Structure formats: C-alpha cells, structure tokens
C-alpha cells in the first residue's frame, strides 16, 4: 500500500524512536526524522529504520547559501532517503541549486519546499515584518517552489485546496498539523483531521502525537487508515 501517512518520530533518543517504529508497519506508514533526533543519532538511525523496511522523510529544513544547501541535499540523497526538505524562503537561487543537485540521481528523493510553519499564525508573521497573511505567503512561496523545479511543498492542509487548484495533481502537498478528532492541537495553530486533509488535496499527512502518544500506536495508525477508507 502506498500510504499517505508519515509518522513523526519526535523523540530525543534513538532507542525510543526505534522502539516506536518496531510497533508500526512499513506497509501502513513512512517515518519522519527531524532535527533533534538526527542531530543526536545521525545517519545510522536513518539506515536502521530503512533496514526495518521504512521509507524515511529527512525533515531538516535546510536553509543556507545555495552551495551549502545543494551539498546537504546531495548528502541526503546519498543516504537513500525518500523525501528531504528545504526552506522556500531561502529564495530562488537556493531552491534551484537544491533541485539541480539531484539531477545525476536515477532515483532521487522527493524535494519539498517548506512554506509557512504550521505553528505560525498571521499575528506571528506580522510580528516578523510580513504584511501577508499565512495563506497569502504560502501561495506565493509555493509558486516559487514550483518555478524552481521542486516536487512540492509542506503546507497546512487548510491551504491544500487552493494549492492543488493552482498547481495540479503532480505537485506534492505534505501536510503537518494533522490531528485526530478530539486530540489536543498542542503547539500547532493550523490543524486539520486526516480525512479533511485528504479531501482537501493533501498527498501526505505528517502525524505525530496522535500515533506516538497512543497506548497502541499501530491501532491508532489503523484507525487513521479506516477513517481514510484505506485497506491493507
């Protein structure tokens, strides 16, 4: 099954992340490794998860000068990850350098641009000096990402319908801030349920606490699949 679910391994240590992965199924999800876990555990953790059969989204949100980001994206590709991301606000030259760095790979990872973090509100953007709403900024950055040759964007599922209409079916929409009905939103501001996200045009759902915080993570994952009408 080509599951849309990506489980966020938001743990502080490798042992906890591997223990959670062992309670899941690579047939039902992919896994996301972020900054804290990767900084502590390094590439060997990614290789361990891959050895367990999981595709890995390396969520490091590269944002630096073009040559540095290009080198980092190549390093991720050499590691064999399924997806890697960069900050769209790094600008066109950085984005094009990142995309160009994958030209020589026969099976490159999906390269995704981060638009506006789902923890941010319109008020946060105003405080940072932006005059756009989150929705307006996401739209503009998504256009830049598409023009620069990347595969898609990270965005809130609330922005997915407009982005799908603007960029078509071939543009991947990766949506964090996904919560099951009744779950706490935590530090996320722009949250959506799995079914609503898919209905709105999302391709991949990044889900953390609704699965990792469950007493039975596999049952929570299966519940999400049932909500989406997916069968193993």
The rounded distance, in Å, linking the Cα atoms of 197 and 177 is: 10
Q: What angle do CA 83, 168, 108 make, to 5 degrees?
A: 25
Would you say 141 and 133 are in contact if contact means Cβ atoms under 8 Å apart?
Answer: no
**Among the listed residues 85, 90, 100, the one whose alpha carbon sits nearest the alpha carbon of residue 172:** 85
Would you say 30 and 228 are in contact if contact means Cβ atoms under 8 Å apart?
Answer: no
107 annotated active-site: no
**Which of these is catalytic: 32, 35, 61, 107?**
61
The rounded distance, in Å, linking the Cα atoms of 202 and 55 is: 19
The rounded distance, in Å, linking the Cα atoms of 26 and 94 is: 33
Per the structure block, which two tokens stand in for 95? 């984005």
Active-site residue list: 61
């Amino acid at each position: 099954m080509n599951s849309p679910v990506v489980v966020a391994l938001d743990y502080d240590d490798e042992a906890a992340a591997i223990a959670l992965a062992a309670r899941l199924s690579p047939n039902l999800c992919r896994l996301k490794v972020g900054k804290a876990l990767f900084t502590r555990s390094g590439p060997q953790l990614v290789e361990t998860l891959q050895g367990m059969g999981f595709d890995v989204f390396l969520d490091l949100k590269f944002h630096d000068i073009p040559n540095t980001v290009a080198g980092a994206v190549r390093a991720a590709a050499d590691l064999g990850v399924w997806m890697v991301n960069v900050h769209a606000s790094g600008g066109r030259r950085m984005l094009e350098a990142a995309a160009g760095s994958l030209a020589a790979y026969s099976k490159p990872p999906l390269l995704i641009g981060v638009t506006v973090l789902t923890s941010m509100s319109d008020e946060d953007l105003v405080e940072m000096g932006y005059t756009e709403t989150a929705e307006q900024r996401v739209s503009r950055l998504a256009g830049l990402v598409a023009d620069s040759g990347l595969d898609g964007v990270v965005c809130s599922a609330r922005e997915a319908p407009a982005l799908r209409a603007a960029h078509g079916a071939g543009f991947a929409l990766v949506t964090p801030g996904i919560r099951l009905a009744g779950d706490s939103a935590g530090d996320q501001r722009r949250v959506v349920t799995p079914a609503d996200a898919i209905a709105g045009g999302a391709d991949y759902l990044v889900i953390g606490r609704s699965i990792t915080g469950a007493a039975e993570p596999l049952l929570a994952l299966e519940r999400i699949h049932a909500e989406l009408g997916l069968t193993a």
